[in-house]
Amino acid sequence: MKTVLLTGFEPFGDESINPSWEVVSRLGGVTDAEECIVCIQLPCVFGESLQVLLAAIARYSPTLVIAVGQAGGRTDISLERIAINIDDARIPDNRGYQPIDQPVVENGPAAWFSTLPIKAIVNALQQEGIPASVSQTAGTYVCNHVMYGLLHALGDKPEVKAGFIHIPYLPQQAAKHPGSASMAAETVKQGLEIAIRTALRVEFDEKITGGTTH
């Protein structure tokens, strides 16, 4: 049985909820396709978030890892293409730490690219009427920190596909931010299910054809 590891974050800033965990926490268990989906919550804390994530990878040995985070102000489900080796926080994290122009990994490469089939996932989401796009920046806060650290840790494990997805506010959050876009939790849940199925299907197709379908 394949194991899929999904992560969401605890609330941060002035928010009382984080849509990533609100949705991810609904997805755990064994699917009809006999994949086991393990869901964990990450602290919105530099360093500690990666420690929790990498411990979960060591424990569950997943074949697919998708980290999910809140991107208030975005209008769709955003598949992140790239993470850069920089922590540059506009606000302190949940432990009060605010790194400025610090590397995620000392002497690490400038960037890591997602190993998810991001365009195939975007296409699958759009085909189901769910707004989605490829994003060229995961920011420089804890989301980028987690994405970079995740991909760096799996750099020598190409058999494990991994990446990051940003999602908009939930409606109850957007109500407190006039003019901000939102997406219903059920729609995001459906979108993440599609992302998982697409990533696993593309991985299977690549093994059969020996090529790439990204």
Question: Is 152 labeled as catalytic in the residue annotation?
Answer: no
Q: How far is CA 114 from CA 28, 72, 111, 149, 156, in A?
A: 23, 21, 10, 12, 14
Rg (CA), the chain: 16
Both tokens assigned to 172: 């109850």
Of 38, 36, 43, 32, which Cα lies nearest the Cα of 1? Answer: 36
Q: In angstroms, how far is CA 8 from the centroid of its own chain?
A: 8
Count of Cβ atoms closer than 10 Å to residue 160 Cβ: 18
Question: Is 159 labeled as catalytic in the residue annotation?
Answer: no
Helices (H), the chain: 19-24, 48-60, 118-127, 142-153, 171-174, 185-209
CB 157 within 8 A of CB 174: no
Of the candidates 22, 44, 143, 145, the residue annotated as catalytic is 143
Of the candidates 22, 44, 166, 203, the residue annotated as catalytic is 166
Question: Is 36 labeled as catalytic in the residue annotation?
Answer: no
Of the candidates 22, 39, 44, 80, the residue annotated as catalytic is 80
Cα atoms found within 13 Å of the Cα of residue 108, Cβ hemisphere only:
21
Residues noted as catalytic: 80, 143, 166
